[in-house]
Amino acid sequence: MENKSVIELLEGRRTYRRFDESRKIPDDVVEKMQYAARIASSAMNRQPLRYIYVRDVDTVNSIFDITSWGGALPDGLGRPKVGERPTMFVVVLTDKELKTRFSDFDAGLAVSNMTLAAYESGVGSCIIGSARIDALKEMLEISEDLEVCMLVGLGYPTHTSTVVDMVDGDAKYRLDENKNYLVPKRKIQDTVTEI
């Protein structure tokens, strides 16, 4: 992955839902992700975000069991099978005392930084908004002054994920004949006005 341009990294840093469960994410990559999230822009520089990096295999699998994956794909093809599950989760939290109306933007920026830093080292990610939050809070003993914002599942992908042009307004991602992801995006001329 090294020596790719930012645009090449952004094109490749898509959602991944099948990982090589035998490959763990090394400490140096995790440290790079942590640093990337730390330096993300934050509204009013309030820095309301907190993170739990979960790498323990049993806890990762327990979190996986309470998450939903790829509901837009047919017949459960979006949910990783045994051997394909993520090897790490990051739980993104907001400190309620520091929360502002911009905190979700902060989370988006931080997770974007984090996942881009991960992808530079070949680690793919899936941002997850659907989980049993009460079970997660109990499992990780998350204090009441923190609010769960999102989860990020990470691992070394075993498939590709490619941006393609949207056809007839259909934004649903789909799989090709090799079960690689095709991610439709609107054309620039359909989203940009220049004055």
Mind listing the pLDDT tens digit for each residue in 45-97?
999 999 999 999 999 999 999 999 987 777 677 899 999 999 999 999 999 99
Question: How far apart, in whole angstroms, are the C-alpha atoms of residue 124 and residue 86?
Answer: 9
Closest-CA residue to 65 (of 124, 139, 166): 139
Structure-block tokens of residue 6? 């930012």
- Examine the pLDDT at 7 and tell me if it is beyond 60: yes
Structure-block tokens of residue 114? 């984090």
pTM score, whole prediction: 0.93
What is the length of the chain?
195
62: exposed, middle or buried (C-beta count within 10 Å: 0-12, 13-18, 19+)? Answer: middle
Summary mean pLDDT of the chain: 94
Question: How far apart, in whole angstroms, are the C-alpha atoms of residue 70 and residue 11?
Answer: 20
Question: How far apart, in whole angstroms, are the C-alpha atoms of residue 100 and residue 106?
Answer: 10
Question: How far apart, in whole angstroms, are the C-alpha atoms of residue 86 and residue 152?
Answer: 9
pLDDT (tens digit per residue) in 10-53: 999 999 999 999 999 999 999 999 999 999 999 999 999 999 99
Strand order across the beta sheet in which 161-165 lies = 161-165, 181-185, 174-175
Torsion on CA atoms 179, 180, 186, 188, rounded to nearest 10: -160
Query: What stretches of the chain adopt beta strand conformation (E)?
Result: 49-54, 88-95, 124-128, 146-155, 161-165, 174-175, 181-185
In the numeric block, the tokens 């992700």 are attached to 33
Band of residue 2 on the pLDDT scale cut at 50, 70, 90: low
